[in-house]
Structure 1
């Protein structure tokens, strides 16, 4: 191990996240190349689907081109259409809201839970109308949503539930993998995800009808003969090369998940006594996998978040601001989308998170020295601000 005093004697940069490919990724990709199976057919697609769905504890997996595609396929499987409404969180990346809009349905926004940053389950029921057909929940930054309450509400009103689990590979709620609890679980395998294939996604389900429909729609809804179409399909196919990487990642899934979780736990240990920030939590009966280690500046920190982020950058530490809430998106509040969500309501928790939150480098293979350096520099910056 390098001497701590010399670890950053030269200018170094710690990215907010890098892919980790510790297994047979290269071997399987080369095999796909050497056998010429490089497009949307080949053995690795099925291996990836079967392996990942088994890891999640469900029967079926439909691999697709990205996480958004998995969400859109799930919405299409529910036959969402113009006039329908879908409950979604305001504090989220845009994908679930955009997926709903593409079906013609209207997203209905809900504020965030102040502790987990996930959708506030206590505020869902008041937004349900006769037009509500589904709920999309997002397991934000690796922490599970309050799935018992959400599923009870869904059952009461006969609603479908999509779990956006892009940020929560391997997270668990009462012993069940996130993504396996609702009707359909949707995943992204983008480069910063715990399991990654660069770009890619998967929708998982125990419902054979949903599985067959999503599988069909991802490939233009081809019928027999091949160029006959009875439904409107899309091209959301995944390549065998990407699936080869995915198969290798699934072989190490438990290790990859635990490595990311340990990074979060180490941050908790190193930052527990630092004033001026709120750390992520892990609620009882939940497994937080800390996809991104997000911190929120407390009200005693008067400095602008961007100034703090800039000071960390000067020390070679990369960060990312929290999501900008959906009700703050110009594409919606400027009326550029016909079925945009209502942006005139107040979502105080989502606003506070969007203004005061950011995440620290969260790669699964961060070293002890890197973690200690990040935390020490953050501590110094915050102490300097608090003394003003």
Structure 2
């Protein structure tokens, strides 16, 4: 029997009547782009995150792009971020004409190492963009303190961290802006593409609402050079249904992670650490091993799906060779990229499935 890496169908079937009703409601209203369902979801998601405003867009990448633009980032500017992330984090910076400047990660959290930031700041630095990777928040207090000291904007890449907490504060509520993805596989996933920007700043909110809809404040009144980044009505309706279940799904993921870590004790993999400041939501459960290819082959043979998030740090990708970085520049990011392996993780995962995965890894560990 195959154990899937993620099972989107299981989640759909658990809430099928509510999802179907929400979709048909949009079909009846025919508000397919933005509309009342998106507005309702924006309001609920803002409350969930503990912020004043949430603006729905068509992807997490668009969220990052518009957050950067609203913050005034453009050609000639520099934005400090990490290389150990999905490429969209860096691509969004490049879209604005700004230059991504990387710092290394803390190997225990896989997130930005605050101690590396100040050495990377120049006269061109305008923003810091930490990534809450794998559902665990970056160490935000020192990041925010550095940003305040140097008058920098902080934009949280919260694409994998819906509901994650840092010292009691939700991801997306601590910086000047927060950016979320609702890609189907995310903890809060749409049935298609979707994204959200969170902020307490009314000026950012007004600018982003215009930028997502061709720069128009009212129809045909184009104030800014904008984009077609609008969230679809059906996605807003679906996400608003799913949001009600997110806390219980996050708790299920934390329980799954705890069971994994217990059952994998003594094996040849290093299990993920939960930082003392945080309450993660385990978007993925990533172990580390120096024999990743061997373990992957073993898991495949046992019918256990798995993934790598991410096999190459961005500074080593051909697409971003123009940034001028080289192997060895960010040793912790490079080491993590060569060792991490993501095991099956989704709210509907069963204890028996986790036991099967753990047994397989323990068997491999014994050789």
> TM class by shorter-chain length?
over 0.9
2:354 — aligned with what? 371
> Given the superposition, is the C-alpha separation of residues 341 and 262 from structure 1 closer, same or farther in structure 2, using an over 3 Å criterion?
farther
Partner of residue 49 from structure 1, selected from 42, 64, 67: 42
TM-score normalised to the size of structure 2?
0.95
Q: Is the Cα–Cα contact under 8 Å of residues 18 and 191 in structure 1 kept in the other structure?
A: no
1:320 — aligned with what? 307
Matches within 5 A, 1:249-264: 249-264=242-257
5+ residue gaps, structure 2, are none
> Given the superposition, is the C-alpha separation of residues 229 and 43 from structure 1 closer, same or farther in structure 2, using an over 3 Å criterion?
closer
SS in 2 for 1:278: coil
TM-score normalised to the size of structure 1?
0.90
Q: Verify: 1:202 aligned to 2:208, yes or no.
A: no
CA RMSD of superposed structures (Å): 1.4
CA distance in 2: counterparts of 1:34 and 1:311, whole angstroms: 50
Q: Deviations for 1:341-379, whole angstroms, at most 9, x for unmatched residues? A: 644661111111111111000111001111100110111
> Given the superposition, is the C-alpha separation of residues 175 and 140 from structure 1 closer, same or farther in structure 2, using an over 3 Å criterion?
same
Q: Give the superposition deviation at 1:322.
A: 2.6
Matches within 5 A, 1:13-24: 13-19=2-8, 20-21=11-12, 22-23=14-15, 24=18
1:242 — aligned with what? 235
2:102 — aligned with what? 109
How many residue pairs get matched? Answer: 360
Matches within 5 A, 1:263-278: 263-274=256-267, 276-278=268-270
SS in 2 for 1:138: coil
Q: Is the Cα–Cα contact under 8 Å of residues 183 and 190 in structure 2 kept in the other structure?
A: yes
Q: Verify: 1:214 aligned to 2:208, yes or no.
A: yes
> Given the superposition, is the C-alpha separation of residues 341 and 326 from structure 1 closer, same or farther in structure 2, using an over 3 Å criterion?
farther
> Given the superposition, is the C-alpha separation of residues 112 and 232 from structure 1 closer, same or farther in structure 2, using an over 3 Å criterion?
same
2:28 — aligned with what? 34
Q: Give the superposition deviation at 1:171.
A: 0.8
Q: Is the Cα–Cα contact under 8 Å of residues 316 and 327 in structure 2 kept in the other structure?
A: no
1:350 — aligned with what? 333
Q: Is the Cα–Cα contact under 8 Å of residues 108 and 342 in structure 1 kept in the other structure?
A: no
Q: Deviations for 1:212-256, whole angstroms, at most 9, x for unmatched residues? A: 1111100010244x3343321011111110111111011222112
1:9 — aligned with what? none
Q: Give the superposition deviation at 1:96.
A: 1.3
Partner of residue 94 from structure 1, selected from 70, 73, 87: 87
1:8 — aligned with what? none
Q: Is the Cα–Cα contact under 8 Å of residues 109 and 341 in structure 1 kept in the other structure?
A: no
SS in 2 for 1:187: strand
Q: Verify: 1:291 aligned to 2:312, yes or no.
A: no
Please identify the structure whose Cα radius of gyration is greater: 1
Q: Is the Cα–Cα contact under 8 Å of residues 57 and 180 in structure 1 kept in the other structure?
A: yes
2:138 — aligned with what? 145
2:129 — aligned with what? 136
Q: Give the superposition deviation at 1:190.
A: 1.0
> Given the superposition, is the C-alpha separation of residues 223 and 285 from structure 1 closer, same or farther in structure 2, using an over 3 Å criterion?
closer
SS in 1 for 2:129: strand
Partner of residue 175 from structure 2, selected from 182, 194, 218: 182
Q: Deviations for 1:117-150, whole angstroms, at most 9, x for unmatched residues? A: 0011110110000100000000110111110100
SS in 2 for 1:133: strand
Q: Is the Cα–Cα contact under 8 Å of residues 68 and 96 in structure 1 kept in the other structure?
A: yes
Q: Give the superposition deviation at 1:42.
A: 2.7
Matches within 5 A, 1:218-237: 218-224=212-218, 226-237=219-230
5+ residue gaps, structure 1, are 1-11
